[in-house]
Amino acid sequence: MTTGNRNPAGDDWFARLPVSPDIYPQKLDLVRGLVLAIEMHAPDYRAASFLDDRILMPSTKGVWLSQLRAAGAAARVTDPRPLHFVFHTGHVGSTLVSRLLDETGIVLPLREPLPLRSLAEAHDALGRSESLLSESDFRDALEMMMRLWTRGYDWTRAVVLKATSSAGRIAIPLLEARPGSRAICLNLAAEPYVATLLAGRNSADDLRGHAAGRMIRLQALCTGPPNPLHGYSPGELAALGWLVETASQWQVAQRLPRRVLAVDFEAFLADVTDGITRILDHFGLPLDDAHRAAVAASPVLRRYSKAPERAYTSTDRDAALRASRRDNAAEIGRALAWLERLGRSEPQIASVLDGAGGIKAIGYG
């Protein structure tokens, strides 16, 4: 891949960037002030489970543009589409929901774009001495990406960006930057969430890998320091993840209640057609009878959304949950007890738990 300064390829891609999603800003390097633009097409967006480095192949065509040039291109976006968001707590069917929205034929999906993670990390540091960006710098970078994310094809009625679970912590800045944007907050109650995570093959590594960042976010919710992270059990680490992501959803719902729709994934699975109808209505998008039938019969419902080559149904999910509840009963109990203790001692966490409907335990606690 080449650098977009003073080369014909860079000039051509700079010209195409504001008018077509076929040139996609895949990476935002805020340290070097560069944007990696790659060639993408409509089928590529639909195929991609994640728009991170997993979409980069030896055959991928791309060029690095200076952030200044990319911002200039973003300022020339003249036909923006409405931009909406899917925020979620992780492992709650967000990719399935995103793929079902694809079935309407009017939504351009952006599943977990890597620049959003870069913006979330930059936002965490704002106002501190180690921040590379000023508040103004951050707003400029955010505006650049928001404008580039609004590009669509002729058939695109809206762009729906599915964030990574942890990027929900900047939901408020994202929505406040675009007053017309709306969001769904996809979630589960604590008990099925913990059971789901503990059922995962690589759950222990995943939980430990994200634990430090989640602990920092937990400290912001507590009046005193939480117990040291090294003493947490796997179930408690899973509960930590649920709590901080649920808190982010609770905060954005409190701040912007009319622009956020809470969606419980188990309720969604119980009536998928009604769930998609409610989501599209929230986004101001139509769903006629033909589209409704397409969603209800979609093969997406019979595949594992993050790896569509693998068969997976709601029946498979139910079986995995039953097995996890049997095999991980002690850890699930520890997780729920930890949440209950925090709720008794920390007022802000008590508010989050109340807002999330409390801890819905099945035979625990």
Positive or negative torsion for Cα 252, 282, 157, 300 = positive
- Name the 3-class secondary structure at 132: coil
**Residue 303 identity:** R
Predicted confidence at residue 306, as pLDDT, reads 84
Q: Mean pLDDT across the stretch 28-32?
A: 97
Closest alpha carbon to 69 in 123, 23, 124, 136 = 23
The distance of Cα 41 from the centroid of its chain, to the nearest Å, equals: 22
For range 118-143, the mean pLDDT: 96
| Cβ atoms within 10 Å of 322's Cβ, excluding its own | 12
Q: Is the confidence at residue 8, as pLDDT, over 80?
A: no
Question: Please, what is the end-to-end C-alpha distance for the chain in angstroms?
Answer: 55
Helices (H), the chain: 8-16, 42-47, 67-74, 94-102, 114-125, 135-149, 171-177, 190-199, 203-219, 234-255, 265-270, 272-282, 289-296, 314-327, 329-345, 347-355
* Beta pairing class for 303-304 and 307-311: antiparallel
pLDDT tens-digit profile of 286-314? 877 877 777 878 888 888 888 888 888 88
Joined tokens for residue 338: 């930890």
Structure tokens at 44: 């590529």
Q: Are 129 and 52 in contact (CB under 8 A)?
A: no
Q: pLDDT, tens digit, for every residue of 63-118?
A: 999 999 999 999 999 899 999 999 999 889 999 999 999 988 999 999 999 999 99
- Decide which of 150 and 203 is more confident: 150
The amino acid at 34: L
What is the token pair recorded at 345? Answer: 């001692």
Residue 217: which of 261, 185, 250 has the closest Cα?
250
Hunting for tokens 């947490």 — which residue is that? 232
Q: What is the pLDDT of residue 365?
A: 31
pLDDT (average), residues 327-354: 94
The 3-state DSSP class for residue 185 equals strand
Burial degree of 179 (CB within 10 A; 0-12, 13-18, 19+): exposed
Residues 6+ apart with CB under 8 A from 103: 291, 294, 295, 298, 300
Tracing tokens 């895949």 back to the chain, one arrives at 26
How far, in Å, are 123, 167, 360 from residue 172 at the CA level? Answer: 11, 11, 27
> What is the pLDDT, as a whole number, of residue 10?
67
C-beta of residue 14 within 8 angstroms of C-beta of residue 4? yes
The confidence band for 204, taking pLDDT boundaries of 50, 70 and 90, is confident
Strand partners, 183: 85, 260
- pTM reported for the whole predicted model: 0.92
pLDDT of residue 362: 33
For residue 119, give both structure tokens: 């913006």
Provide the residue type at 166 as one letter: S
| Cα 228 versus chain centre, distance | 28
